[in-house]
Amino acid sequence: MEELSALRERLTAFLRAVGATDPDGEVTDLVQLTGGYSLLTYRFDVTSGGGATRYVLRADPPPGQAMTHTDRAQEWELLDALTQTGTVPMPGARWADPQGAVLGTPAIVLDFVDGPSLLAHLNAVDESQQRSVALDVAAAVATMHAAGSTCVPTSFTRPGSWDDYIDGFIAQWREVEASMAERNPFMRWVAQWLETHKPMPAPLTLVHGEFQAGNVMVGADGKPQIIDWEYAHIGDPRVDLGWMQIVGAFTPPDPIALDPMAFCERYCEVSGLTADVVNPLTIGYFAILGGSKPLGAAVQGITDLARGDSRAITSAYLVSALPFSHRLWRDGAAGLEAAMAQVEALMAGAAQ
Amino acid sequence: MIAQPTSARLIDVVREELSENVLPKVADDPAAAGSLHMIDHVLETLSRRVANEIGWMVEEIAGLDALGARVTAEAPAAVKTAAALDALRAVDASALDLASVSERYSAASEVLSCAVEEVPAGAALRADVEAALDARLAREIEIIGDFQLVDR
B86 lies in a domain?
yes
Total of domains in chain B: 1
Contact between chains at B151 and A119 (C-beta distance less than 8 A)? yes
| Residue A202 and residue A240 in contact, taking contact as beta carbons nearer than 8 Å | no
Q: Show which residues on chain A lie within 8 Å of chain B, measured between beta carbons.
A: 32, 34-37, 119-120, 177, 182-186, 188-189, 192, 214, 250-251, 313-314, 316-317, 319-324, 326-327, 330
Reference B60, options B72, B50, B52; nearest CA is B52
B151 lies in a domain?
no
Strand-pair partners of A46: A27, A53
DSSP string, A58-114: EEPPPTT--SS---HHHHHHHHHHHHHH--S-SPPEEEEETT-TTTSS-EEEEEPP-
- Say what the ipTM of the complex is: 0.94
| Residue A237 and residue A207 in contact, taking contact as beta carbons nearer than 8 Å | yes
B150 lies in a domain?
no
Contact between chains at B149 and A251 (C-beta distance less than 8 A)? yes
B17 lies in a domain?
yes
pLDDT at residue A4 in the model: 86
Dmax (CA) for chain B in angstroms is 63
Cross-chain CB nearest to A192 (options B105, B116, B150): B116
Strand order, beta sheet including A40-48: A26-33, A40-48, A51-59, A107-111, A93-97
pLDDT at residue B86 in the model: 98
| Residue B81 and residue B111 in contact, taking contact as beta carbons nearer than 8 Å | yes
| Residue A46 and residue A20 in contact, taking contact as beta carbons nearer than 8 Å | yes
DSSP string, A25-51: -EEEEEEEEP--SSSEEEEEEEEETTE
Contact between chains at A182 and B38 (C-beta distance less than 8 A)? no
pLDDT at residue B151 in the model: 47
Rounded CA-CA distance A244/A258 in Å is: 12
**Chain A interface disruption, residue of B11, B29, B42, B139, most A CBs within 10 A:** B42
Amino acid identity of residue A180, one-letter, is M
Bridge-based pairing of strands A51-59 and A40-48 is antiparallel
B152 lies in a domain?
no
Q: Where are the beta strands (DSSP E) in chain A?
A: 26-33, 40-48, 51-59, 93-97, 107-111, 205-207, 216-218, 224-226, 233-235
State how far the alpha carbon of A190 is from the alpha carbons of A69, A161, A185, in Å. 24, 22, 9
Contact between chains at B116 and A34 (C-beta distance less than 8 A)? no
Cross-chain CB nearest to A189 (options B38, B133, B144): B133
Domain around B103: 7-144
Cross-chain CB nearest to B147 (options A120, A183, A320): A320
B95 lies in a domain?
yes
B63 lies in a domain?
yes
Amino acid identity of residue A17, one-letter, is A
Other Cβ atoms within 10 Å of B74 Cβ, number: 12
Q: Is the dihedral of CA A42, A45, A123, A140 positive or negative?
A: negative
Contact between chains at B41 and A320 (C-beta distance less than 8 A)? yes
| Residue B112 and residue B132 in contact, taking contact as beta carbons nearer than 8 Å | yes
**Chain A interface disruption, residue of B81, B104, B152, most A CBs within 10 A:** B152
| Contact residues, chain B, for A36 at CB < 8 Å | 152
Q: Is A2-111's fold the same as A118-351's? A: no
CATH 3.30.200.20 fits A2-111, yes or no: yes
Task: Give the domain ranges of chain A.
Answer: 2-111, 118-351
Contact between chains at A188 and B116 (C-beta distance less than 8 A)? yes
**Chain A interface disruption, residue of B46, B109, B143, most A CBs within 10 A:** B109
CATH 3.40.50.300 fits A118-351, yes or no: no
**Helix B30-74 to helix B126-144 angle, to the nearest 10 degrees?**
160
Cross-chain CB nearest to B113 (options A185, A316, A327): A185
Chain centroid, CA A265 distance in Å: 22
- The per-residue pLDDT string of chain B (152 residues; one tens digit each, 9 = 90 and over) reads 899 999 999 999 999 999 999 999 999 998 899 999 999 999 999 999 999 999 999 999 999 999 999 999 999 999 999 999 999 999 999 999 999 999 999 999 999 999 999 999 889 999 999 999 999 999 999 999 988 765 44
| Contact residues, chain B, for A246 at CB < 8 Å | none
3-state secondary structure of A207: strand
Cross-chain CB nearest to A316 (options B42, B132, B144): B42
- The per-residue pLDDT string of chain A (352 residues; one tens digit each, 9 = 90 and over) reads 458 889 999 999 999 999 888 888 889 999 998 765 678 899 999 988 778 899 999 998 876 666 667 788 999 999 999 999 999 999 999 999 999 989 988 999 999 999 999 999 999 999 999 999 999 999 999 999 999 999 999 999 999 999 999 999 999 999 999 999 999 999 999 999 999 999 999 999 999 999 999 999 999 999 999 999 999 999 999 999 999 998 898 788 999 999 999 999 999 999 999 999 999 999 999 998 987 877 888 899 999 999 999 999 999 999 999 999 899 889 989 998 898 888 878 877 877 7
